[in-house]
Amino acid sequence: MDWFDYVIVGAGSAGCVIANRLVRAGYTVCVLEAGPVDSNFFIHLPVGFVKTLLNPTLTWQFKTEPSAGSGGRSINLPQGKTLGGSSSVNGMVFVRGQPNDYDNWAQRGNLGWSYDDVLPHFRNIENRLAPHDVNFRGAKGLLPVSDPDWRHPLCEAFIEGAASVGIPRNPDYNGAVQEGAGYYQRTIRRARRVSAARAYLYPVMKNSRLKVLTNCRATSISFEGKRATGVAYRIGETIGEAKANREVIVSAGAINSPRLLELSGVGNPQVLSAAGVSVTHDLPGVGENLADHYSPRMIAKAKNIETINELVRGPRLAKQAVNWLIGKPSILGLSAVVCHAFGRSDPALDTPDFTIIFTPGSSTAGRLGVMDDHPGMTIGPWQMRPQSTGHVHIRSANVNADPVIQPNYLQHHKDKQALLAAIRVARSILHSAPMAHYFDSEMLPGADAVSDDELLAFARAYGSTSYHMAGSCRMGPATDPNTVVDADLKVHGLQALRVADASIFPTMVSANTYATSLLVGEKAAAAILASERLKQAA
C-alpha cells in the first residue's frame, strides 16, 4: 500500500492534464492506467488509428445494446486503453465547440463554465501551429494544433461546393465563429500524433512525485464513511491499493467512470442491488444521460481524379511512406477526416447544429481501413447537439463484465430532423457545380433514397458512433437528481472524490469531444489548486 496526495484513475485526456498540473504544483500523484505503455508504432503514426481502434490491447472493445435508432444493430464502441487513453487512438481532430455550448452549461447552474470562463483555459491548452487570432487562440500551450499539409483537389471542390450551398469558407472554426467549411485542425506535429500523454504526462514522467502504473485495473474506490481514501487495483494477479491523502480523481471516460463508481457502490440503489453491489452512496444520476454523435457515412464514386483509395496500394503507398519518413506531405500523416462543414438545418437557428465531414477516400461498406477498389470519397453528416440520451450501467459486481451501454441513437424527433437536413445538404454539396468534374455516382445511400423514411432507413442501417461518448456523470447542482458532480467536479454528497472527463458534460458540445475533455482536465486542476490555496491561507 502506497500513499499519495492524489490518485487519478485513467491516463486519458483529462487525467494526463491533471497529473501534469498537480505534479508541477508540488504534489505527489499516482496514475492508474488499465492499458499498456503507448509504445505501439501505430499510435504515433497518424493513420495508424485504423489499426489501434481494432486492437483489444489498446482499446476497450465495448458494444452498445441494439436499438431502433441503429436498426436493431449493436454498434462497436472502442475506447482508448493505453497511456493517453482515447487521445492515443482517436482521429486527432481538434474542435472546441461553440460559445453557447458553454454558456448553456453555466446557465444550468455550473458557475465558472461560461465561454468567457473557459476561453483562457482553451488558449492555455494549445500551441497553435498556424497564424491565428490571439484573442481566441493560444501559442504557448503543451498541445500542438496544426493544419494539414497534404492537400487534394477534392477537398477544395468540397469546400467550394459547401460555399455554393450557403456554408462559406472559414479558415478557423476554433476562432470567433464556428460556422463554415474548411480543413480540420489536428493534434499532429512533424507528421506524428501528439496525444495527451505525450503533451502532458511525459514532460513530468521522470519527476519523483509522479508514479504511473500501467496494465493496472482499478477495481473499486475505497471509502471511510463518505470520504474516498484510495483505489483498489489489480496488476495481473497482484492486488494493491493506492491511498490518497487528499483526493481520488476518476478520469476513466464516459463508460468506465460510471462503471467504477457503481462497482464502488455509488449510484442508483436499484441498479446496484440488481448487480449485487452494496450501496455506499445513493446517487441516481450515475450512468444516466449518456450521449453520443451518431453518424451515417455517405459514399460516392469519384472520377477524373486519384483518391486515397489508390494511394494506399502498391508503389503509391511506398511513395507515401517515404514522404512520411522524410517529413513531406503524406496520407500517412492525415487525421481521420480532412475537411468539415458546420451548418444549420434551419436558417432560423442562431448557430450551426450539424457537421458534415469529408475525406477524399472511401472504405468498403464502412469497414474501417478497408478501402474501395475504385476512386471514392466519403461525406458524413451528424447532428451536433443530440437530444437523445441513454445510459451505461454495470451488469454485475464482476469488474471484468462489460457494462450495459445504450445511447438510444435517433430516439428524439429533433435528432432525426437535423440529421435528415444534414444528409440533404451533404447530397447537395456532392451535386454542386464545384464537385461536378469529380462526382461520378452516389453509392450510399444511393440516388433512389429520396424520402425521409428512405433516408432514415439508410441512417439506421449504416450509421455508427463518432466515438464521442459523454454525459454519464453529468455536472450540475445537487438539487438536480440527474447530476453527479458540482461545478468543481466534486461528487455530490461525498468527500475527496471528483470525476473529470467527458462524462461530466451537462450537454453534448457542438464538436468532437477531445478538446473539451482537455478543458475538463484544466478546469479540474485549477479547482483543486484553488482549493489547496484556500486551505493554506486558512
What pairing do the DSSP bridges indicate for beta strands 281-282 and 266-267?
A: parallel
**Taking 80 as the threshold, does the pLDDT of residue 1 lie above it?**
no
Count of alpha carbons within 13 angstroms of residue 509, beta-carbon side: 29
* pLDDT tens-digit readout, 328-385: 999 999 999 999 999 999 999 999 999 999 999 998 765 666 889 999 999 999 999 9
Q: How far apart are CA 276 and CA 254, in angstroms?
A: 22
Rounded to an integer, the average pLDDT of 72-89 is 98
pLDDT score for 365: 66
C-alpha–C-alpha distance, residues 478 and 494, integer Å:
11
pLDDT > 70? residue 518: yes
> Cell 450501467 sits at which residue?
393
- Cα separation, 244 vs 526, whole angstroms: 19
Task: Report yes or no: 361 and 309 within 8 Å, Cβ to Cβ.
Answer: yes
Complete domains list, the chain, with CATH:
1-44+79-134+194-291+391-402+471-538 (3.50.50.60)
pLDDT computed for residue 370 by the predictor:
81
| pTM, full prediction | 0.97
Yes or no: say if 184 and 93 are a contact pair by the CB < 8 Å rule: yes
DSSP 302-349: E-SS--HHHHTSHHHHHHHHHHHHTT---GGG--S--EEEEE-SSTT-
Q: Average pLDDT, stretch 387-416?
A: 97
∠ Cα 302 335 355 (to 5°): 70
* Per-residue pLDDT, 326: 94
Query: How much is the average pLDDT of 16-38?
Result: 98
- Which pLDDT score is estimated for 6? 98
pLDDT at 364: 79
Cell numbers representing residue 234 in the block: 489489480
**pLDDT higher than 80, residue 445:** yes
Please say whether the beta carbons of 109 and 100 come within 8 A.
no
Residues pairing with 95 in the sheet: none
**Residue 293 region, left (φ>0) first, then alpha (ψ -120 to 50), else beta?**
beta
Q: Is 31 helix (H, G, I), strand (E, B) or coil?
A: strand
Peptide bond into 445 cis (omega under 30): yes
239: which strand partners? 234
- In angstroms, the CA 393 to CA 405 distance is 7
CA distances from residue 507 to 112, 290, 355, 380, 476 in whole angstroms, order as listed: 16, 9, 17, 22, 10
Average pLDDT over residues 209-222: 98
Does the structure show a pLDDT above 70 at 87? yes
Residue whose C-alpha cell is 462503471:
259
Q: What is the mean pLDDT of residues 502-529?
A: 98
Q: What is the pLDDT of residues 134-163, one digit of tens each?
A: 999 999 999 999 999 999 999 999 999 999
Mean pLDDT of the chain: 97
| 534: pLDDT strictly greater than 90 | no
Angle at 530 between CA 528 and CA 534, to 5 degrees: 115
CA-to-CA distance for 213 and 2, rounded, in angstroms? Answer: 12
Helix, coil or strand: residue 110 = coil
**Which tens digit of pLDDT belongs to each residue from 387-399?**
999 999 999 999 9
pLDDT for 289-337, tens place per residue?
999 999 999 999 999 999 999 999 999 999 999 999 999 999 999 999 9
Residue among 304, 43, 259 nearest 154 (CA): 304
Burial of 131 (0-12, 13-18, 19+ CB in 10 A): exposed
- Kindly state the cell numbers that stand for 368: 474501417
Task: Give residue 443's pLDDT.
Answer: 95
525 and 251 Cβ atoms separated by less than 8 Å: no
* Position 283 pLDDT exceeds 80: yes
Strand ranges (DSSP E) for 52-99? 59-63, 76-80
Q: What are phi and psi of 415, to 5 degrees?
A: -65, -40
Q: How many CB atoms lie within 10 A of CB 109?
A: 17
Q: Which of 109, 490, 492 is nearest to 283 (CA)?
A: 492
* Positions marked catalytic: 468
Where does 264-307 have alpha helices with state H?
Answer: 269-275
The residue among 384, 292, 294, 291 whose CA lies nearest residue 344 is 384
Grid coordinates given for 410: 435517433
Dist CA 323 CA 86 (whole Å): 27
Q: Are strands 238-250 and 497-499 parallel, antiparallel or unpaired?
A: parallel
3-class SS at 464?
strand
